[in-house]
Amino acid sequence: MNMRFLDACWGKPVDRTPVWLMRQAGRYLPEYRAIRSKCTFLELCKTPELAAEVSIQPVEILGVDAAIMFSDILTPVEPMGMKLDFVPGPVFENPIRSMKDVEKLRIPEMEQDVPYVLETIKILRRELAGKVPLIGFGGAPFTLACYMVEGKGSKDFAEIKRMMYGAPDVYAALMEKVTTMDMEYLNAQIKAGAQAIQIFDTWGGVLSPSDYASYVLPYTTRLINGLDRQNIPVIHFVKGSGSMLDTVKLAGGDVMGLDWHVNLGHARDIIGPQMAVQGNLDPTVLFAPKTFIESEVARVLAENAGRPGHIFNLGHGIMPSASPENAKFMVDCVHRLSQK
């Protein structure tokens, strides 16, 4: 078993810097599109054999040091009672706007309501045995609430902020419920065999540092504290966290995910040596010529300056138009340039 990824999560020394890519199972791979062309995205998420197959594709094609199970952050929100569609971005037919809407939300029974997620994990653990560790994941409560309140992706997040500032009791009731769901969902993934957990807070950075501290931090902290994680590292990725790393760190977790707007070395100086970091190549660098990709990989490795506890990754998900060849070249560069 390739232990580089888990060792680096715990800040242990490794022979080469481990690397995986956020959103590594997806549309940039022709092998993914071949499977996806025969069903909808939600059908793919709900068919464990197929979900497991697309999770393994990047491990074999790119040679990454970890697999991430194939699903979506919104998968467990649907059984809370919200009608979900992907077009391809997520859309909820009836967004949450009132206390009555929040009261109607139920906390799913994970074994009954999302059995396909747990089954995907079990299949993956069998198929990945002796290869690489398996990462489970969920959205952070705030990012899930953004989609539930906005009803879809947003540029200004006006509806969630309107609720946050204008109806703080509704916002708090929603966040409490989503946090409880998330905790049970991630604990069910751990029980099914996930070997690490990544929490995606894609939209945490749309708030000011003080709003983040008031309206997000208490919930993510409760979530991370509530995970059954004796031997399960937790990666906390807040996109846009560069100006509030000291605050985000307070949520806990073992690894801080970094986007590309921060210098990884400066970020480590602020975060301190107790926490590992993951990141942080600009995803658009994969569109550049190979010589440029290589020098950018070298730059990120140099910023880390040999400190233990670095997992190489992009600073956000790989783009659907990225080239698999360049992605593989990047992975090879990380391994070659970091070899001890």
Residues near ligand CP3 (CB under 6 A) are: 22-27, 36, 41, 68, 70, 72-74, 86, 88-90, 137, 153, 200, 202, 317
Burial annotation 96-122 (CB, 10 A radius, 16+ → b, else e): bbeeebbeebebbebeebbebbbbbbe
Tokens of 175: 């966040």
Closest contact distance (angstroms) between CB of 125 and ligand CP3 is 16
User: Cα dist. 76→50, 114, 148, 155, 183 in Å?
Assistant: 18, 7, 12, 24, 11
Angle at 121 between CA 127 and CA 79, to 5 degrees: 155
Of 68 and 124, which has the nearer Cβ to ligand CP3? 68
Of 23 and 335, which has the nearer Cβ to ligand CP3? 23
Closest contact distance (angstroms) between CB of 180 and ligand CP3 is 20
Of 32 and 171, which has the nearer Cβ to ligand CP3? 32
Closest contact distance (angstroms) between CB of 84 and ligand CP3 is 10
| Catalytic residue chosen out of the listed positions 32, 147, 171, 215 | 147
Distance CA 196, CA 164 (A): 31
Is 97 known to be catalytic? Answer: no
| Catalytic residue chosen out of the listed positions 36, 125, 229, 268 | 36
Of 187 and 202, which has the nearer Cβ to ligand CP3? 202
DSSP states of 206-251: GS-HHHHHHHTHHHHHHHHHTS--SS--EEEEETT-GGGHHHHHTT
Of 11 and 253, which has the nearer Cβ to ligand CP3? 253
Q: What's the start-to-end Cα distance of the chain, in Å?
A: 19
Is 23 known to be catalytic? Answer: yes
| Catalytic residue chosen out of the listed positions 65, 72, 101, 182 | 72
| Catalytic residue chosen out of the listed positions 23, 125, 222, 268 | 23
Hey, which bits of 106-186 come out as E strands? 134-139
Closest contact distance (angstroms) between CB of 175 and ligand CP3 is 17
Of 41 and 329, which has the nearer Cβ to ligand CP3? 41
Is 4 known to be catalytic? Answer: no
Q: Which residues pair with 197 in a beta bridge?
A: 136, 234
Angle at 279 between CA 199 and CA 157, to 5 degrees: 50
The CB-side HSE value for 62 (13 A sphere, CA atoms) comes to 37
Closest contact distance (angstroms) between CB of 35 and ligand CP3 is 9
User: Cα dist. 205→48, 217, 244, 265, 280 in Å?
Assistant: 33, 12, 9, 20, 16
The torsion angles phi and psi of 196, rounded to 5 degrees, stand at -155, 160
Closest contact distance (angstroms) between CB of 289 and ligand CP3 is 25
Of 11 and 46, which has the nearer Cβ to ligand CP3? 46
Using only the alpha carbons of the chain, give its radius of gyration.
Answer: 19
Closest contact distance (angstroms) between CB of 138 and ligand CP3 is 9
**Residue 196 DSSP symbol:** E
Distance CA 86, CA 71 (A): 12
User: Which residues belong to the active site?
Assistant: 23, 27, 36, 72, 147
